[in-house]
Amino acid sequence: MSVHSANSSATAAATGRSRAVKAVIPAAGLATRFLPATKAVPKELLPVVDRPVLQYIVEEATQAGINDVLLITGRGKTSMVDHFDRRPDLEARLENKPEILAAVQRPSELADIYTVRQPEQLGLGHAVGYAESHVGDQPFAVLLGDEFVKLDQPLLPAMLELQARTGGVVLAFFEVDPADTKRYGIASVEPAEAELTDIGEVVKVTGMVEKPKPEEAPSNLAVLGRYVLPATIFDAIRRTKPGSGGEIQLTDAMELLRNEGTPVHAIVYRGTRYDTGMPLGYLQTVVQIAAEREDFGAEFRKWLADFVNSDASGGPNT
């Protein structure tokens, strides 16, 4: 696996805007919110039932028709790339177990995976900047490596369609408790006329700020970890000074573009978002996905109900 640049496409110029065809997954972070579990294991490889978080994210990109995925990695995180490689030695031992064999092969069949390393973790914007030579001059999607949405409530296809219509930046928002604004990028918005999607209202963004205190937040609409960005973001990132947490923030680079006239639209997503970046959200994700499993979901739900209803000091299985 390597990084190439693949600037496309003559037809896009002839027919107007085309849908983004590449995805970038920033996954170089140190995952300090999940230590010590993430000291030697990338948080993107923590399992949600029997698949690592990162596989759900790559599947989300694939489901949206994107099969070119650039992983932005860092030191100690090479095992993420191994997950999407073939394992002929393991596969040879699974010839009599077709279901497990298919599950082992699936990650390597999902997408073309490319990698680039971010040598120092200086912020999300800084990380996305490393995608420039791979992405070229076309719009592209960014999927953050620790959150994903429910597979049957897809968000990315609608964002890609919207970006092909409006150009500029397309974001997705979800509503947060006003006390939690300091954990997210927060936006002010106005209605967007004549823009519709079947998964949520479309709004026009009139301002964005990274991790504001509740009293300074312009709303409770938080930036969800899915973006469709124009290639002009790379120049904006270069011009962005360190912001919240002393890091080069993607939110600040997008706000710079917006101030210079780039349209920024967003879909207010009403579906289910799973946030695996912190222990509580991770546990909630595992429980929800386990409860929906066809094979043991019913049994797990029954156990969970019994557990919740049991004496807190013990449990049905103690």
- Where along the sequence are the contacts to ligand G1P (CB under 6 A)? 124, 144, 147, 184-185, 210, 222-223, 225, 249-251, 277
* Cβ distance to ligand G1P smaller for residue 197 or 244: 244
Angle at 38 between CA 72 and CA 62, to 5 degrees: 40
* Cβ distance to ligand G1P smaller for residue 42 or 277: 277
* Cβ distance to ligand G1P smaller for residue 45 or 250: 250
Shortest Cβ distance from residue 43 to ligand G1P (Å)? Answer: 11
* Cβ distance to ligand G1P smaller for residue 42 or 185: 185
Shortest Cβ distance from residue 222 to ligand G1P (Å)? Answer: 5
Shortest Cβ distance from residue 137 to ligand G1P (Å)? Answer: 24
* Cβ distance to ligand G1P smaller for residue 220 or 251: 251
3-state secondary structure at position 80: helix
* Cβ distance to ligand G1P smaller for residue 68 or 147: 147
Shortest Cβ distance from residue 260 to ligand G1P (Å)? Answer: 20
Distance CA 63, CA 35 (A): 31
3-state secondary structure at position 72: strand
The residue written with tokens 């490889």 in the block is 45
C-alpha closest to that of 194 among 265, 298, 104: 265
C-alpha closest to that of 224 among 188, 273, 180, 182: 273
* Cβ distance to ligand G1P smaller for residue 8 or 244: 244
Shortest Cβ distance from residue 139 to ligand G1P (Å)? Answer: 19
Shortest Cβ distance from residue 186 to ligand G1P (Å)? Answer: 8
Shortest Cβ distance from residue 284 to ligand G1P (Å)? Answer: 14
Whether 71 contacts 114, CB under 8 Å: yes
Closest residue to ligand G1P: CB criterion: 185
54: burial class by Cβ within 10 Å (0-12, 13-18, 19+)?
buried
Distance CA 92, CA 133 (A): 37
Shortest Cβ distance from residue 165 to ligand G1P (Å)? Answer: 24
DSSP codes of every residue in 168-202: SEEEEEEE--GGGGGGSEEEEEEE-TT---SSEEE
C-alpha closest to that of 62 among 163, 157, 195, 127: 157
Cβ-based neighbours of 205, under 8 Å, separated by 6 or more: 169, 171, 187, 188, 189, 258, 264, 265, 266
* Cβ distance to ligand G1P smaller for residue 64 or 254: 254
